[in-house]
């Protein structure tokens, strides 16, 4: 009988056997290079990697750790197990994964259409960097505008449709299936439209973009996949041919994960579901408290109650999410002054960027993670001066509630004094 997902993911990539002394845990291979059994095999490996015409097909094996490594294979097998994808690729950061995937599947006749808002680094790469590389990039306000955009562009099909859902930090939710169905209808045998989804905020436990028809999932693995604020990594996971091209580009752009980080990721993924489920249940408690204390209008999250209050897409969330995750936004009174007073008063929450870790984190997107986003986009998307972002960790829920309550009161006092 096929085992359940948690069980399959726990053992993916490592089986205790005589080859590994029956070690219950996998070894780590720091080697940068691997010995070829003979020169002919070495030539077959290298010529295949470089796409030399007429190269002999090499046997399974490793060449050099910029192309692949046994410990990396372990982590990639484990992520593919969680996502139930054909294949996965790890990178040295989330941005390395995102930029490599975008470069691999875009081109002069393959524009990128994205539905913002997006994580600031991705948005900058798309708006400022890709056009300098001959890529046409177009921001679309919503997926309902795909047909209108096609008319506007004289029916020039996109090569990529890129989404981030829920969006960091404003929680806009996009219906992945709408993008995938549109892409499937408009793709032709010579022009495949690739749908990419940044699933960093929810991860494989809470949202499964491939089941919704997406082709490639992207992650900042620095967040929930790593989950302990002790590594930087990224990942791409999805359909075999889509990942294969991304891996080919990774070889030449060079942004692969090192073996130590890969080993840490493989270890962290064993507890992914337990961490995320606990972070979600604590978040429910925190959100219920914040809605009472601060009023529902002040609270943002990807849970349906808060999406409804903010006028965001509740139906998409209900259709594709298993819960709203563990990220919270709070609009503090008194603008930047109130928000800073709130952040400086927290003691259990740590004032730091990043998210998805064992410890709870708090930050001010307008001046920190999204400092580089143009003012008009911040305004349109709700990244106001009073907005703070919270990432809920594994501390006791009541300690978090108490910490937030005292900080909120201080921020309210500051806001009243400022009037």
Q: Looking at beta carbons only, is 232 or 298 nearer to ligand PLP?
A: 232
Site for ligand PLP in 152-171 (CB under 6 A): 164, 168
Q: With CB under 6 A as the contact rule, which of the stretches 51-59, 114-122, 151-159, 257-265 interacts with ligand PLP? A: 114-122
Find all residues with CB under 8 Å of 205, minimum gap 6, and list them.
82, 272, 273, 276, 277, 322
Query: CA-to-CA distance for 82 and 225, rounded, in angstroms?
Result: 10
Q: Could you say which of 58, 117, 166, 234 contacts ligand PLP (CB under 6 A)?
A: 234
- State how far the Cα of 216 lies from the Cα of 316, in Å rounded to an integer: 19
Cβ neighbours around 132 below 10 Å, total: 7
User: Within 47-66, which residues bind ligand PLP (CB under 6 A)?
Assistant: none
93 in contact with ligand PLP (CB under 6 A) = yes
Is the separation of the CB atoms in 393 and 359 below 8 Å? yes
Pick from 165, 200, 207, 257: which binds ligand PLP (CB under 6 A)?
A: 200
Is 222 a binding residue for ligand PLP by CB under 6 A? The answer is yes
Give the Cα separation of 217 and 215 in Å (integer).
Answer: 7
Q: What track of x and - describes contact with ligand PLP for positions 262 through 301 (by CB under 6 A)?
A: ----------------------------------------
- DSSP states along 241-293: HHHHHHHHHHHHH--BPPHHHHHHHHHHHTTHHHHHHHHHHHHHHHHHHHHHH
Comparing CB distances to ligand PLP, the nearer of 163 and 332 is 163
Residue 134: left (phi > 0), alpha (psi -120 to 50), or beta?
left
Q: Left (φ > 0), alpha (ψ -120 to 50) or beta: where does 54 sit? A: left
By C-alpha distance, which of 280, 380, 394 is closest to 328? 280
CB-closest chain residue to ligand PLP: 94
Residue 124 phi/psi, 5-degree rounding, is -65, -45
Nearer to ligand PLP, 49 or 216 (CB): 216
Q: Which of 9, 95, 176, 388 binds ligand PLP (CB under 6 A)?
A: 95
Among the residue ranges 74-82, 93-101, 298-306, 307-315, the one whose residues contact ligand PLP (CB under 6 A) = 93-101
DSSP-derived pairing of the beta strands 234-238 and 194-198: unpaired
Q: How many CB atoms lie within 10 A of CB 195?
A: 27
For ligand PLP (CB under 6 A), the number of binding residues is: 14
Is the CB of residue 196 less than 8 Å from the CB of residue 237? no
User: Which of 54-62, 92-100, 187-195, 343-351 is the region at the interface with ligand PLP (rule: CB under 6 A)?
Assistant: 92-100
Minimum CB–partner distance for residue 384 and ligand PLP (Å):
19
- Least separation in angstroms between residue 122's CB and ligand PLP is 6
Closer of 106 and 220 to ligand PLP (Cβ): 220
Return the half-sphere exposure (C-beta side, CA atoms, 13 A cut-off) of residue 221: 34
Among 58, 68, 94, 158, binds ligand PLP (CB under 6 A): 94
Q: Is the Cβ of residue 65 or residue 168 nearer to ligand PLP in the bound state?
A: 168
Question: Among 26, 30, 27, 12, which Cα is nearest to 258's?
Answer: 30
CB of 378 to ligand PLP, least distance (A): 16
Rule CB under 6 A: say whether 220 interacts with ligand PLP. Answer: yes
In the block, tokens 């992207």 appear at 218
Is 209 a residue that touches ligand PLP (CB under 6 A)? Answer: no
Which of 121, 159, 259, 382 forms a contact with ligand PLP (CB under 6 A)? 121
Q: Find the part of the chain contacting ligand PLP (CB under 6 A) among 73-81, 116-124, 297-305, 378-386.
A: 116-124
Q: What whole-number distance in Å separates Cα of residue 323 and Cα of residue 286?
A: 14
Q: Which residues bind ligand PLP (CB under 6 A)?
A: 93-95, 119, 121-122, 164, 168, 198, 200, 220, 222, 232, 234
């Amino acid at each position: 009988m096929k085992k359940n997902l948690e069980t399959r993911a726990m053992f993916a990539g490592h089986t205790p056997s005589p080859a590994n002394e029956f070690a219950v845990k996998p070894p780590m291979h720091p080697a940068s290079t691997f010995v070829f059994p003979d020169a002919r095999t070495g030539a077959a490996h290298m010529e295949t990697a470089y796409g030399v015409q007429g190269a002999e097909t090499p046997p399974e094996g490793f060449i050099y750790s910029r192309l692949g490594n046994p410990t990396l294979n372990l982590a990639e097998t484990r992520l593919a197990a969680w996502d139930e994808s054909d294949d996965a690729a790890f990178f040295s950061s989330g941005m390395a994964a995102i930029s490599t995937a975008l470069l691999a599947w875009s081109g002069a006749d393959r524009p990128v259409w994205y539905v913002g808002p997006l994580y600031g680094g991705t948005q900058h790469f798309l708006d400022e960097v890709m056009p300098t590389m001959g890529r046409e990039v177009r921001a679309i306000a919503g997926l309902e505008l795909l047909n209108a955009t096609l008319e506007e562009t004289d029916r020039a099909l996109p090569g990529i449709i890129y989404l981030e859902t829920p969006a960091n930090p404003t929680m806009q939710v996009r219906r992945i299936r709408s993008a995938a169905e549109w892409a499937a209808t408009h793709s032709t045998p010579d022009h495949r439209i690739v749908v990419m989804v940044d699933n960093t905020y929810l991860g494989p436990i809470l949202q499964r973009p491939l089941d919704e028809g997406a082709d490639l999932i992207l992650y900042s693995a620095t967040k929930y996949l790593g989950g302990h604020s002790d590594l930087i990594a990224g990942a791409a996971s999805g359909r075999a041919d889509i990942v294969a091209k991304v891996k080919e580009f990774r070889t030449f752009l060079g942004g692969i994960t090192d073996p130590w980080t890969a080993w840490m990721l493989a270890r962290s993924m064993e507890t992914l579901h337990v961490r995320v489920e606990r972070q979600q249940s604590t978040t429910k408690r925190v959100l219920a408290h914040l809605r009472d204390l601060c009023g529902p209008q002040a609270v943002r999250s990807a849970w349906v109650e808060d999406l409804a209050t903010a006028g965001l897409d509740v139906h998409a969330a209900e259709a594709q999410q298993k819960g709203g995750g563990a990220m919270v936004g709070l609009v503090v009174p008194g603008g930047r002054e109130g928000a800073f007073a709130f952040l400086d008063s927290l003691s259990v929450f740590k004032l730091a960027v990043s998210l998805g870790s064992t410890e709870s984190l708090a930050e001010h997107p307008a001046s920190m993670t999204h400092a580089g986003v143009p003012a008009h986009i911040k305004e349109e998307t709700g990244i106001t001066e009073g907005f703070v972002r919270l990432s809920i960790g594994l501390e006791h829920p009541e300690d978090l509630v108490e910490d937030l309550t005292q900080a909120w009161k201080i921020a309210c006092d500051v806001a009243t004094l400022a009037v």
